[in-house]
Structure 1
Amino acid sequence: MSTFDLNSINSALSDSGRPSSGVDFSGKSLKLDTANDAQPIVDAINSCPDLQYLTLTGNTLGVSAAEAISKALEHHPELKVARFSDMFTGRMKTEIPPALAALGDGMITAGARLSVLDLSDNAFGPIGVEGLAKLLQSDVCSELEELRLNNNGLGITGGRLLAKALSARPRKLKIFIAGRNRLENDGATALAKVFQNMGTLEELAMPQNGIYHVGISALSEAFKRNAQLARLNLNDNTVGAKGAQAIAAALPNLKNLKSINFGDCLLKSKGASALAKAFKDNSLLLESLDLSHNEIGREACMEVVDAITALPDSYDRLSRVVLAGNSLGGANNKKTMRDKLGASAELSDGEGSEDEYVTDSEEENSNSEEEEENDGQNSEDSATEDAQHLDTGTDFAQDITLDTSGVEEIQTEVGRFLAQPTIENLDRLGANAPDVIDAHLQAIKDPTALIQAYVDATFCVAGLSEQNPKAAELAEQMYPLLIKRAGQQHAAAWILANSVLSALGLIKSEDKAHKIRWALGPCYTTLARAIDAPYFPAALRDTLRFFANSKRTALPLAAALCR
């Protein structure tokens, strides 16, 4: 049964910022595979004359169900809030992008203008961002104020694509949430450019993203242009001393900053001291500060406490100060801190601990080693996540070692060729190798596995095209066969795109055991010839060229697909 309420007084009282009219199916744990399964939601939407919000959190939607809901949304241009988090539990990753795209298309057709979009906890990954890009670049998101993309598996590539989509038009985002996405330095830097141009941020949360001081510094430059920033959460990134100094330099511009969470950021004493000085010099009116588990020495911890309690109203203003997991010294030190901080104090995890992580002098002596280590980590971190496992040099194709390890003894000639793609094994399949391969693969029943198998087979053949004219001819026959067989499967477009992108090294494969067994250079060359053929899907062509263009620096071979 639907749970919408056209005049929800209780909702309005509990959340004054939430529209009072809409449809809420949150937490119902509904498994919606077909249009018929989605009918209760469709009926609720159709029965709501003023659909200000739609919440589908905590259910699981298939593509057909999403398409049915999308049709209902086409009649509601008044929609303002879309809460679509945690909607795909138990779904194949390839189902998520087309389902999200369908919901977006419904809002685009309606001409809706969203103020809030929450897509958190949906593992659509980098390829899903491209489907989302259409919605983000549309008029639907032209007035967006709150964007939540927490725990989406974006990676560096997804972060870059997201930044590209957001930069397509001027933005006035107030809240941006993107924790647990492995954005790393490159993703954070790309998004920092978007934030710098906006200047409207009030809350930014990017915890657990593997960002080092390079990315932190880029974000800090963006903070200087966002004077209304009130809440900042960079928990569990490696801010370090360099990052802390960059943030400290931005604090004079952030007079409205009320809440900071830099827990687990490896600040150490030097970083904490830099922040403490900036807090005091700029008389920040902080209400909440989390510097827990940062290996800060007792003297620097006391500097922080002294800085945030310097103003006379601090005792009443501070609501939470977390220094647990640092070296706070003995009982006298802790008592002094508690006296200054009052009820807001959350000190060491073990109240009797007097452990000292590192003294200030020791830290200064080892600082060069720490910075060298961070720079080394950053050099790897700065490479795109999806290309880190590939050689990025100009001799990329020549340096690849074909993976033939762990191959079981295979009885069929096709199986032997797919496990060990050599000219000799290809010759054993005869002049009609594509037909032989096709007959062999048709036995696979799972759509995702079948499409992946056809992609692998195509590139096993294409990878040999520069060694033998016959292999080049056979490769030309494999591409139309691949497109034909993939087109016969459910959600084929997304499965095919994901499989081809990972096979070309443009994104990281979700299957850790799946290895590139073919030479990439010939694969790019043969695909470049096939990509403009009439049988080749335009959407797949655009997707491949989009990703190839974004990776052409890290992966020079990708330039073959770019016009």
Structure 2
Amino acid sequence: MSFDLNAISTALNEPNRTVSGVDFSGRSLKLDTEKDAQPIVDAINACPDLHYLTLTGNTLGVDAAKAIAKALARHPELKTARFSDMFTGRMKTEIPPALSALGDGMIEAGARLSHLDLSDNAFGPIGVEGLAKLLQSDVCSQLQELRLNNNGLGITGGRLLAKALSANPRCLRIFVAGRNRLENDGAKALAGVFQSMGTLEEISMPQNGIYHVGITALSEALKHNPGLARLNLNDNTIGPKGAAAIATALPNLKNLKSINFGDCLLKSSGARALAQGFKDNSVLLESLDLSHNEIGREACMDVVDALTALPDSTDRLTRVVLAGNSLGGSTNKQTMKDKLGPSAELSDGEGSEDEYVSGSEDDDDEESEQENSEDSAAEDDQRDTSCDINNSILETTDIVQEVETDVGRFLINPTLANLDKLGANAADVIDVHLQSIRDPESLIQAYVEALCCVCGLAGDSERAADSGGRLFHSLVARARQQWPLANALLRALQLIKSENKDYKIRWRIAPCYQALAKEIDEPYFPTPLRDTLKFFISSKMASLPAEVKDVIEKHPNLYT
């Protein structure tokens, strides 16, 4: 008889093995410097088996993140990183370098994460840039749970996230990305990733401004994830068309246990489509939320009948929420309660029991009309209002053109001849011109574009170079918010793409980098802005035009 000692040891030890790690959650620590981070570094170094690190509820600066990253580089056993709510009070310009540093530490260690939580960090699309290297690396090759709730991703962030996740095969079980304004395009990008995964058990994407177009794309992806058990699309506009699309996926979702479609404007026809899908496919739901969906009483009853068609429904159902719809009179409500048992959560919507007409022929038309108006408004809101030159420089040109027409002409057509018309104090003339812009973010955007128009001529004119330097100094002084300034500069230097299709580069890019090299290390230049620009320049340099790359390589202070 032989014995496998390794197998015996594993069987004896694994069930009782203690999972160890470091937890600094909820301490409200403000960690700016390496010294500030020393208690966390010491705790990490003192933990021989670092399975988890929790930093939730503190605020982390770049230098502190780099110190923690050095400690993480010695722990390949790390499995769980809980980094939610970790940048409170920080400028968005600080977040990408900090995230990148933490990621580099884990990459150097050769860790293999199974859980990553970055929720409640408002890092936006450029934050995803800071995460891209980590998400594409082997550190996330075995990732099972990714939580990115309330990060302000927007459409661009959704696309960047999808690109990062699709770089290598992923086997996520849980994906959470609520309150991110992903909209249709972001949802479609992620749907492509979900379809290739096939391993998802939970998808939670509430409050993302997704309409039936994006919902339909997600529905196609759901068909390829047969193990899906929980689906939360609360407070998106699924509508009747989206509901019909989801119904087509139900034959493939035999493990589906929980659905939350509250506040999704399903209306009666959408509710009926789902009800028919539940009934036809014998979906064994345990929890369903269809609250506040303008569903009529007959359609509500259809949903109840579909849920209770199987004999085990009373024991199986734990929560059925139809509150906020038209449930009919007391007889209807009692019938629903009797069928649903203790799982029922029922209350009428505002108005009479006939408020929502069942099977309205206008459901689809009304949904389409609302989408055209609200989706456009959402898209406009998602864009930085300062992106469009028509909303900044050109808009104000009409206001002041009687006084300073030469400035307006230069900003539209930035040539040396037009710059010379502004005289020896061109920077001051431009500064006065731009002060008529009242919206702070629009002012910053207009200032950045004016700056680039001048700096783009710096290689051909000493006057332009001098004016560019003065404008840099004035811009930093005018910009009360660092995040819009960083965002505008990154777009103007072609380090990130603008979501506005009308955004046009009217200046030469390479001389702008040459001008930036002269200013970036000056004492007046904000450190977070400097770190952010250097981070993006170093990470994007290989993809920039050859002319621009040549300038950057001649000025190492732009990326080191």
Q: Same fold (TM over 0.5)?
A: yes
Q: What is the aligned-residue RMSD (CA, Å)?
A: 4.5
> Equivalences for 1:515-526 in 2 at 5 Å?
520-523=504-507, 526=508
SS of residue matched to 1:40: helix
Residue equivalent to 2:363: 367
After superposition, residues 414-425 of structure 1 pair within 5 angstroms as: 421=411
Unmatched segments (≥5 aa) in structure 2: 1-14, 432-440, 518-532, 546-560
Residue pair 1:454, 1:482 contacting (<8 A) in 2 also: no
Residue 206 of structure 2 is matched in structure 1 by 207
Tell me which moved more, 160-169 or 25-34.
25-34
Contact 1:154/1:182 (<8 A) preserved: yes
- Measured after TM superposition, the shift of residue 427 of structure 1 is 3.7
Q: Deviations over 1:428-470 (max 9, x none)?
A: 66458579999xxxxxxxxx9999897344234369x7xxxx9
Identity across matched positions, percent: 65
Q: Which residue of 2 aligns with 1:9?
A: none
Amino acid of the residue matched to residue 185 of structure 1? N
Task: State the alpha-carbon separation in 1 of the partners of residues 390 and 442 from structure 2.
Answer: 29
List alignment gaps of at least 5 residues for structure 1.
Answer: 1-15, 439-447, 510-515, 549-563
Indicate how the Cα distance of structure 1 residues 544 and 323 shifts in structure 2: closer, same or farther if over 3 A, else same: farther
Q: Who is 2:394 aligned against?
A: 402
**1:546 Cα deviation from its structure 2 partner:** 7.0
1:93 corresponds in structure 2 to 92
Match of 1:4 in 2: none
Deviates more, 1:46-55 or 1:18-27: 18-27
Instruction: Write the deviation string for residues 375-396 of structure 1: whole angstroms up to 9, x where unpaired.
Output: 52487379797669699xxxx9
Cα distance in structure 2, aligned partners of 1:134 and 1:78: 19
Contact 2:385 2:391 in 1 (8 A): no
2:487 aligned partner, one-letter code? N
Counterpart in the other structure of 1:70: 69
Relative to structure 1, the CA distance from residue 538 to residue 268 in structure 2 (aligned partners, 3 Å threshold; closer, same or farther) is closer
Equivalent residue runs for 1:225-264 within 5 Å: 225-264=224-263
Call closer, same or farther: CA 1:343–1:475 in 2, change over 3 Å. farther
TM-score, normalised via structure 1 length: 0.76
Q: Distance in 2 between matches of 1:342 and 1:17?
A: 41
Residues 545, 319 of structure 1: alpha-carbon distance in 2 compared, 3 angstrom cutoff: farther
Equivalent in 434, 448, 451 of residue 455 of structure 1: 448
1:89-488 equivalence runs, <5 A = 89-348=88-347, 354-361=352-359, 363-364=360-361, 366-374=362-370, 376-377=372-373, 380=376, 402-404=394-396, 421=411, 426-427=419-420, 430=423, 455-461=448-454, 473=461, 477=465
Paired amino acid for 1:520 = K
Partner deviation per Cα, 1:50-72 (whole Å, 9 max, x = no partner): 00000000111111111111111
> What secondary structure is seen at the aligned counterpart in 2 of 1:211?
coil
Q: Which amino acid aligns with 2:489?
A: V
SS of residue in 1 equivalent to 2:395: coil
* In the alignment, structure 1 residue 540 sits paired with structure 2 residue 556: no
Query: Who is 1:30 aligned against?
Result: 29
What is the rounded CA distance, in whole Å, between the counterparts of 2:347 and 2:17 in structure 1?
38
Aligned AA (1:359): V
SS of 2:320 mapped into structure 1: strand
Given that 2:469 and 2:515 are in contact with CA atoms closer than 8 Å, whether structure 1 keeps it comes out as no
Amino acid at match of 2:366: E
CA deviation vs aligned residue, 1:458-491 (integer Å, no higher than 9, x gap)? 234369x7xxxx99757974799599989x99xx
Q: Is the 8 A contact 2:427 2:471 kept in 1?
A: no
Distance in 2, Cα, partners of 1:308 & 1:17 = 42
In 2, Cα distance between the equivalents of 1:405 and 1:432?
19
Cα 1:64–1:289 change in 2 (3 A) is same
Secondary structure, aligned partner of 2:301: helix
Cα distance in 1 between the residues matched to 2:535 and 2:396: 34
The answer on whether the counterparts of 1:76 and 1:110 sit within 8 Å (CA) in structure 2 is yes
Whether the 8 Å CA contact 1:232–1:259 is kept in 2: the answer is yes
Shift in Å, 1:86: 0.2
For residues 31 and 234 of structure 1, the distance between their equivalents in structure 2, rounded to whole angstroms, comes to 35
**Deviation string, structure 1 residues 187-217 (Cα, Å, up to 9, x no partner):** 0000000000000000000000000000000
SS at match of 1:170: coil
Helix, strand or coil at the partner of 1:289: strand
- Determine the C-alpha separation between the residues in 2 that align with 1:53 and 1:474: 56
CA 1:30–1:382 in structure 2 vs 1: closer, same or farther (change >3 Å)?
closer
The aligned counterpart of 2:558 is: none
2:49 aligned partner: 50
Q: Which residue of 1 aligns with 2:509?
A: 527
Q: Which residue of 1 aligns with 2:525?
A: none
- Give 3-state SS (helix, strand or coil) of 1:232's partner: strand
Q: Secondary structure at the match of 1:360?
A: coil
Partners of 1:530 and 1:471 in 2: how far apart? 9
Question: How far does residue 534 in structure 1 lie from its aligned partner after superposition?
Answer: 12
CA drift of 1:97 comes to 1.2
- For 1:311, the aligned partner's letter is L
Letter in 2 for 1:156: I
Q: Tell me the TM-score normalized by structure 2.
A: 0.77
